[in-house]
Amino acid sequence: MFSPEEELIAVLTRSGVDFTCSLPCEKIKVLLEMLPDSFFHLPLTREEEGVGICAGAALSGRRPAIFVQSSGIGNMINALLSLTGFYELPLAIFVSQRGIYKERIEAQLPMGQRLPGILRGSGIPFSTVQSSDDFKTIEKKLREVFKNNRTHAFLLSPAIWEGSAAKAPKREAIVRKTGRRPSAVVESGLKTPLPKYTRFEILKAIAARLGSKIVVCNLGVPSKELYALKHQPSNFYMLGSMGMATPIALGISLTTDKEVVVIDGDGSLLMNPGTLATLAYAAPSNLTVVAIDNSSYGSTGNQPTLTGSCVDLEAVARGFGVHNTLKTASKKDLVSALREKTDGPRFIHVIAVSGNTDQPNIPVGHLEIKKQVQAFIKGPGSI
């Protein structure tokens, strides 16, 4: 029986792939349906968050692969360069290349046809896969990806799947759970408290509660402030890739038993809010999101964000399905919440005063940051 889907899954298995995520594409729909039977698999809301989640998984020593279509690469470039490539983390990208073979949707043509040039210009190595005979190239390149901590894109022609006898596994129908509808947000009656403290004051208050935890910290000033207050080998300081803090923490939390805390911000969360839906779906019990909301883009000059006028981040989190939430402007309530042993994922919405402290750049190189976090994750208590 001719089944290129099964052949590719066998290649992935032999290569040690153990963490997958994807967004839908009609051309590879059977392959995507088959992935959960062979690997840990996570459905995504956006391609960019998948880069962050896979980066977190790679920090834990996993071998991640992400499946997208051509258009998705356009949503991934910055994160691929400033996160995966910058920190030298492995990632195999399988791209259903639209717009090149029997394409019926004209809007797929521009990205599909320009994709090789886009990857080449971005410095991202790629291989063109025209048929299952080319799968041997995939296996060879995958060894290099995971041995050398590199990114590689595999452009999969739709011609590969023609004549396949593979059929998607039968899945139970998804039934809406009416008891978990977002109307619970309205019923909570929570009011937004007035801010009292700056982000630095909040970080200072919780610093003692972060010991022995993996901490992923948002980029820019937040990372510099955390370094000044509570530097530890388990801190992953982000130096770029805005919007990736919570995705990275999610990827780590799904691949370790250790407690994970992410220090995120309103501007960052507004950039990738769909990650909260993915977080709710994956439901890692060891993850806490501390969303410090000062209604401003603090690292770029305190320009206002929309949380100061029309967006309630806790309501957003609850609407996406995160039900263990807290809104507070109190240092006491925040410290108490972090002290509690409760199943996550937790979302703590901290209302803060805008403003930054003047801190020097972090004197630890980005690759050393990675190595320290990896060593901590591999220590006692890891899975």
Do 340 and 233 share a domain, yes or no? yes
161, 178, 201 - which closes a domain: 161
Phi first, then psi, for residue 289 (nearest 5°) are: -100, 120
Assess contact for 360 and 380: CB atoms under 8 A: no
Tell whether 149 and 227 lie within a shared domain: no
Q: 73 and 149 share a domain? A: yes
Whether residue 248 sits in one domain with residue 121: no
CB 249 within 8 A of CB 260: yes
Judge if 256 and 345 occupy the same domain. yes
| 69's tokens | 């279509």
Q: Output the six-digit token pair for 38.
A: 């062979």
Do 269 and 365 belong together in one domain?
A: yes
Lowest-pLDDT range, 9-18, 182-191, 285-294, 308-317? 182-191
Q: Where are the beta strands (DSSP E) in the chain?
A: 19-22, 41-43, 64-69, 91-96, 126-129, 151-156, 214-217, 235-237, 260-265, 287-293, 296-297, 303-304, 324-328, 346-351
Q: Which of helix, strand or coil describes residue 303? A: strand
Whole-model pTM: value is: 0.94
pLDDT in tens, 144-174: 999 999 999 999 999 999 999 988 888 776 6
In a domain, 208, yes or no: yes
| Residue 276 belongs to domain with CATH number | 3.40.50.970
Query: What is the average pLDDT across 356-360?
Result: 94
From the number of C-beta atoms within 10 Å of its C-beta (0-12, 13-18, 19+), residue 88 rates as middle
Give the H/E segment covering residue 152. strand 151-156
Q: If pLDDT is split at 50, 70 and 90, which confidence band does 379 have? A: confident
> Hey, what are 76's tokens?
């991934």
Regarding whether 364 and 223 lie in a shared domain, the answer is: yes
What pLDDT, on the 0 to 100 scale, is given for residue 173?
A: 63
Any domain includes 337: yes
CA distance 132 to 7: 8
Q: In a 3-state reduction of DSSP, which class is residue 369?
A: helix
Q: What is the pLDDT of residues 23-74, one digit of tens each?
A: 999 999 999 999 999 999 999 999 999 999 999 999 999 999 999 999 999 9
Which of 325, 345, 344, 337 is closest to 184 using CA atoms? 325
Q: Residue 159: what pLDDT?
A: 95
| Residue span of the structural domain in which 290 resides | 187-377
Q: How many domains does the chain have?
A: 2
Residues 153 and 196 in one domain: no
